[in-house]
Structure 1
Amino acid sequence: MTATLSKPALRIGPYQVDPPVVLAPMAGITNVAFRRLCREYGAGLYVCEMITARAVVERHPGTMHMMTFDASEYPRSMQLYGVDPATMKEAVKIIVGEGLADHIDANFGCPVAKVTRKGGGAALPFKRKLFGNIVRASVEAAEPAGVPFTVKFRVGIDDDHHTYLDAGRIAEAEGAAAVALHARTAAQRYSGKADWSHIARLKEAVTSIPVLGNGDIFTAHDALRMVAETGCDGVVIGRGCLGRPWLFGELEAAFAGKPIPAGPNLGEVARVLRRHAELLVEHDGPDKAMRDLRKHMAWYFMGFPVGSQLRRRFAMVSSLDELDELIAQLDHDAPFPADALGPRGRQGSPGKVTLPHGWLDDPDDPCVPEGADIMHSGG
């Protein structure tokens, strides 16, 4: 495993990313509070929640609030979603012109039906010319300011329609600074296992820019194994850090060849949860912060002996005082459970991908899909 340490450092444009670890943008999760919590454990590139290009152009107030970065956060990394080269170009111009971010990533990985049925998300790379036009327009807008533009996508629509090798080559040719592959098809959604062999194939096809791997990294050992097995230049962490922001400390140790810290006991987890709550309150005010915190409870307490009644109360917590009262009832000495290292977050089941009528007829059709610039989540 230590053979990975001899690889050149990961560079995204002018930025060295050491360890070669990227936090994947997750809707409703990777706000400024969660990113700061993760950054307190280890270095890496921490990407904010995904922003739609149209919302940037229209200066949607909620979107502008989501684009908040901590004063110590650098480089500031933002993920954009868009389907129209002109809208993407205009959004990138605004972001770089007003100094709102230092790195922009484009999301072509969302498998959600309401997105793919409009031709967006993971459906879009099938349209090679449109995909290339979006990357080219975005790079043209970002490049003069020295802001690297990167692209994330999936293996393809389904097992009969793999798009990732074309997408990787096109992104490379159009000036992207790096590509990232979630090693599942849209049809898999988040089910089953990610097939890392596709990451290895993409690494062979894309030779002049970094290739990052994403999918089923739940431990630091998983990250080292992905790099060793695929030759990828870095890893993208999504669901594995839900309720486990300390994973980034474990990743930093692993990539440095140091012993991986033991998992925290329940008392330490409670302290992290309390810190998370404070940071959310600072960002969003107490009411929204506590509502937001509730979804994290099951992840933080996964595998711990908390008890169903106390879990229910945590999942309905409405104030910091109530949170403190509940934390006091936990067994702070309970050790970190060995069975809490596996999958977490959404998994679901595979299904047929919903596409616009005739979407698969012509992969070289450059037309922009109608009505696909909608708010959504994921990748």
Structure 2
Amino acid sequence: MSTALHATKPLKIGQYLVDPAVVLAPMAGITNVAFRQLCREFGSSSSLYVCEMITARAVVERDSKTMQMITFGEGERPRSMQLYGVDPTSMAEAARIIVGEDRADHIDMNFGCPVPKVTRKGGGAALPYKRQLFRRIVRAAVKAAEPAGVPVTVKFRIGIDDDHLTYLDAGRIAADEGAQAVALHARTAAQRYSGRADWSAIARLKEAVTDVPVLGNGDVFSARDALRMVAETGCDGVVVGRGCLGRPWLFGELQAAFRGEPIPAGPRLGQVAEVLLRHGVLLADFLGEDKGIRDLRKHMAWYLKGFPVGAELRRSLAMVSTLVELEDLVGRLDPDLPFPDSADEPRGRQGSPARVVLPEGWLADPEDAMVPDAEDMHSGG
């Protein structure tokens, strides 16, 4: 396919060849070791599958919940961890712990989270507005990870809102400070996940940052979306978040598309049922059966999106409690139902635009490098 032309090139991030150039975006409560393994089983083991966002302070203080969240599967390589922080000192110390204890092979830095509990601390999508502080934090992580050969990448948004755009400066600064790649979620923090991603911003970032790979993120809900993003923006790869919710086989479709092969047809409901059961088994192995199957409940609507499944069976699946019950319920699904055309529509949270909650006086001086008040310990976003 002609639209696969740009995407057929693998990415080089540090010592790792990312082929195809596809990254699973970290998503709170989603991209644990079970979901990452499921995505890898469908896609390429050479793509990147990033764990949930981890706070630097929680790593330094060895918060027990955070230390469980940075569990990686046997044979999971490269191990990709997303790190969040607002303080260069704690960021450097967290990176030193991660690489010194061989806990990850790749560190991705989060400067894109739009949720109020993060931005009100000056973190996530708020932080790139403070250009010098942003520079210091990226530099701290890169220098701490460098001796172990662990590459650092940086992900950010277009800006805080339409009046405070930060992405071009952020991309240049990250590349200057040694980031191995940058990724742009083509929305502002104020948009959150609403509206449409502005892919033209990805193209402008690609023009501005020429010495490291530029990845695009936002509204990739199918393999054809990914090909179109690469063709329209010239980006070097794609980051996929909400598009794979309830659809881990998307990574197989992306692999085929990026290699110029025919994109496989979507699975029939019987195949979806098998994947759903496999997801339940993996979650039970990771979290224990009780907690794991309860965690699976939130995935049900995504797996069944667009299929004509009766309301009673949907309700039962949404309240499933054991693997035996799960196996019984998925056995009641009609295995021959074809994959619905509507499944390529947006999935996951969308919501509405909202004012970004910032620390008092945050917008007064973009050159102010003062570290905000202590960052939150809450990992996961």
Query: So what's the TM-score if we normalise by structure 1?
Result: 0.98
Aligned to 1:89: 92
Picking from 364, 368, 371, the partner of 1:368 is 371
Do the aligned partners of 1:132 and 1:171 also contact (CA within 8 Å) in 2? yes
Deviation at 1:307, TM superposition (A): 1.1
What whole-Å deviation, never above 9, does each CA across 1:15-45 have from its counterpart, x for those lacking one?
Answer: 1100000000001100110000000111111
Do the aligned partners of 2:12 and 2:18 also contact (CA within 8 Å) in 1? yes
Structure 2, unaligned stretches of length 5 or more?
none
Aligned to 2:153: 150
Q: Aligned letter for 2:152?
A: F
Q: Give the distance between the partners of 1:324 and 1:117, measured in 2 at CA.
A: 44
Q: Give the distance between the partners of 1:356 and 1:53, measured in 2 at CA.
A: 19
Percent identity reads 73
Aligned to 1:5: 5
Does residue 286 (structure 1) correspond to residue 289 (structure 2)? The answer is yes
Alignment of 1:1-379 (within 5 A): 1-5=1-5, 8-43=9-44, 44-375=47-378, 377-378=380-381
Q: Give the distance between the partners of 1:202 and 1:268, measured in 2 at CA.
A: 40
Secondary structure of residue in 1 paired with 2:42? coil
What whole-Å deviation, never above 9, does each CA across 1:260-295 have from its counterpart, x for those lacking one?
Answer: 000001100000000000001111101110110000
Q: Give the distance between the partners of 2:117 and 2:56, measured in 1 at CA.
A: 17
Q: Give the distance between the partners of 1:8 and 1:240, measured in 2 at CA.
A: 22
Q: Give the distance between the partners of 2:319 and 2:228, measured in 1 at CA.
A: 38
Q: Which runs of 4+ in 1 moved over 3 A?
A: 3-8
Secondary structure of residue in 1 paired with 2:51? coil
Deviation at 1:376, TM superposition (A): 5.2
Q: Aligned letter for 2:333?
A: L
Q: Aligned letter for 2:187?
A: R
Do the aligned partners of 1:42 and 1:252 also contact (CA within 8 Å) in 2? yes
Do the aligned partners of 1:115 and 1:374 also contact (CA within 8 Å) in 2? no
Secondary structure of residue in 2 paired with 1:305? coil
Do the aligned partners of 2:192 and 2:351 also contact (CA within 8 Å) in 1? yes
Secondary structure of residue in 2 paired with 1:235? strand
Q: Aligned letter for 2:49?
A: Y
Q: Give the distance between the partners of 1:236 and 1:328, measured in 2 at CA.
A: 34
Do the aligned partners of 2:4 and 2:257 also contact (CA within 8 Å) in 1? no
Deviation at 1:371, TM superposition (A): 3.2
Q: Give the distance between the partners of 1:67 and 1:372, measured in 2 at CA.
A: 19
Deviation at 1:332, TM superposition (A): 1.0
Structure 1, unaligned stretches of length 5 or more?
none
Query: So what's the TM-score if we normalise by structure 2?
Result: 0.97
